[in-house]
Amino acid sequence: MTNNQKVKISPSILSADFTRLGEQVAEVTRAGADYIHIDVMDGHFAPQITIGPPVVTAIRKCTNLPLDLHLMIESPENQINQFANAGANLITVHIETCQHLHRVIQMIKDKGIKAGVSVNPATPISLLDEILPEVDMVVVMTVNPGFSGQIFIESTLGKIARLRAELDKRDLNAELEVDGGINEKTASLVVKAGGRVLVAGSAVFNTRESIGDAIKRLRESLV
């Protein structure tokens, strides 16, 4: 099996045209995306305020793909119920925002959905040691949370490789998602390092090409 076949793509709708959000979600679905990545920011942990549960409810009606929610918010434990009820299939929280990470992961799982944990570029993966067996996904940020279209931070590649080795060594099945600055140049570096789910915002939603062509180009860059 080639890397191309194993790798999943999770388009980040933060880069979508919000005046046509439903159409764009339907278009990435038709184009063969594996997840829909939804970036939730609160203006505190991450500088922008983006998307809340009512928009997730609307997106839920436009696709059958799993909704991959990335909560970049303080006190995420207060929002789990609302986002799960809005139709999330997977909720990822940041380790930097959780005083009681194990409890928050448990809260997510108790809603009958998958749970993920994310680390910022400056956060060491050693902090994940104890929680790895409990999570369905680990998200390595390759930009600082906040915006689409930022430049990929290359020094995170070593971290991805070490995390891949750790997951394999301990025979853990958590998916390794990589988020930020993914394009046709960086995608193959990330996959070589061990990333298996690629979040892509500006590489998928842009004015240069159709969404279908953009996803195809990203996949072809992995061959």
Distance CA 195, CA 175 (A): 8
Distance CA 104, CA 127 (A): 16
- The reply on whether position 143 binds ligand DX5 by CB under 6 A is yes
Choose the contact partner of 143 out of Zn ion, ligand DX5, none; CB within 5 to 8 A by kind. ligand DX5
Catalytic residue list: 39, 179
3-class secondary structure, 115:
strand
3-class secondary structure, 93:
strand
Contacts of 144 (CB under 8 A, 6+ apart): 120, 121, 150, 180
Interaction mask 160-179, Zn ion, x per CB under 5 A: -------------------x
Cβ pair 37, 49 in contact under 8 A: no
Binding to Zn ion, residues 67-96 (CB under 5 A): 70
Q: Which of 9, 14, 108, 214 binds ligand DX5 (CB under 6 A)?
A: 14
- The reply on whether position 148 binds ligand DX5 by CB under 6 A is yes
- Which amino acid makes up residue 69? L
- The reply on whether position 42 binds ligand DX5 by CB under 6 A is no
Choose the contact partner of 145 out of Zn ion, ligand DX5, none; CB within 5 to 8 A by kind. ligand DX5
| Binding footprint of ligand DX5 on the chain (CB under 6 A) | 12, 14-15, 37, 39, 70, 143, 145-146, 148-150, 179-182, 199-203
